Each structure stands twice: as structure tokens, then as C-alpha cells.
Amino acid sequence: MTQMDFGAARRAMIDSQLRTSGVNAPFVLDRMRTVRREDYVPDHARGSAYMDRAVPLGGGRFLAPAVFHGAMLEEARPRIGDRTLVVDGGSNYLPALIATLVGTVDTISADEAAGIADEGTEGEYDLLLVDGAVEKLPSGLISRVKDNGRILTGLVKNSVTRLAIGRKVAGHVALLPLSEMGIPHLPQFDIAREWSF
């Protein structure tokens, strides 16, 4: 069995997935060239780490497509002083990507993020990144973001997923959907369905 050339796979990902999708910021390409996706999947999935779709990791966890992570980093415009909160989709790849671009990174799981109580406390994070697509961000999670803080997430509506960007202003967040792309769905953030007769 031939061993896969992961360096070549990373170069192909940059040239055929990121650049062709409009992700061209040098700092993004540098991080995605440096952080090895194959290190964030189980051994049996290493050969799939550079596919142009999500890689299932088991237990509802995933490694999202590279174009989602690349576009998210580019839109986030990270700053070295940013205190950043990452809601991880289960791979820990996104926290590794952002780590050297911001001041500090705290990581929580989607389950932890969905369960944060809204205590009305003053936000502590300049940047919130959600590694997956949500129907709605819970108020407890939003409360962790500073006023004028930036938020990037996947957004799912009518089964279509898009990258979305927003800012917290006066305690509220409006998300602007950007490009449509395949993003793994985080069911922890689904809107409760109401039955009617």
C-alpha cells in the first residue's frame, strides 16, 4: 500500500478548493498550509482529511470542509489582541488554525455552548467562531461576546447552509448570510419545533 503524500494533498487543497472558492488571504493560506488536517482525524480517516466535504469522526463529531474554515478565517479578520471563543465541532482543527492569529483561544464543545446560562454578565470575548451550522445562537452563548464583538458561524435555513457573519450591538446579534457551502449541522442549536392543529 502506497503512503499518502499529505504535503501534496495540502497544496492541492489550497489550489483547487480554497483559491477557486475565493479564499486567497495570505495569512489564511499560510495557516492552512501549516496546520495538518490529517492530525485531527482518526487514523482510519487520514486519507479523507483533504476531501472537499466534511469528514465524519464518529459520535456526531466532524472535521468541516477546508473551504468553510478558510472562508471563516478570512471573514473573521483575526487580530493579535482578540480574545477568542471557539465552539468546536469535535476535531479541534479550528482552534489550532486560529491559535497564532489571536491573543487567546478558549474552546468549548457544542453541547457546552448550547447549555450556557444567560446570566446577563458582561461579555469577555472579542471573537466567537462556531465550527458548524446552527439554526439559532442561544442567548447564553451570545452573552459571552463583548459589545461590538464579531461572530462567525454556519447558518442553516431550509436545509441550506451558509457562512454567516455578525456583530453584537447593544446585546443583540444579527447574522448576515454570506456564501452557500456545505457545513456540518449542529443539532444542539436547532429551534424548538411547535406543533399546531
Report if residue 19 sits inside a domain. Answer: yes
Give me the pLDDT at residue 34, please: 95
| Closest C-alpha to 50, from 86, 98, 7, 101 | 7
The answer to whether the Cα torsion of 74, 134, 83, 96 is positive or negative is: negative
Q: How far apart, in whole angstroms, are the C-alpha atoms of residue 152 and residue 150?
A: 7
Using the CB atoms, write b or e for 128-157: b if 16+ within 10 Å.
Answer: bbbbbbbeebbeebbbbbeeebbbbbbbbe
What are phi and psi for residue 62, nearest 5 degrees? Answer: -160, 165
What's the total number of domains in the chain?
A: 1
Domain assignment of residue 66, yes or no: yes
Residue 82 maps to a domain: yes
Give domain status of residue 196, yes or no: no
Residue 195 included in any domain = no
Contact between residue 118 and residue 143 where contact means Cβ atoms under 8 Å apart? yes
pLDDT digits (tens, 9 = 90+) for 173-184: 989 999 999 999
Give per-residue pLDDT as tens, 79-137.
Answer: 999 999 999 999 999 999 999 999 999 999 999 998 887 766 678 999 999 999 999 99
Q: What is the pLDDT of residue 185?
A: 94
Domain assignment of residue 53, given as a range: 6-189
**Does the residue 197 lie in any domain?**
no
Judged against a pLDDT cut of 60, whether residue 197 lies above it is answered with no
Rounded Cα distance, 98 and 147, in Å: 21
Domain with residue 148: its CATH number is: 3.40.50.150
Nearest to 63 by CA among 75, 71, 73, 51: 51
The one-letter amino acid code at 139 reads: S
Residue 194 covered by a domain? no
Q: In angstroms, rounded to a whole number, what is the distance separating the alpha carbons of residues 168 and 18?
A: 28
**pLDDT score recorded for residue 2:** 46
Residue type, 178: L
Note the pTM of the prediction, 2 decimals: 0.92
Res. 12: pLDDT tops 90: yes
Residue 39 to residue 41: CA distance in whole angstroms: 6
Residue 149 belongs to some domain of the structure: yes
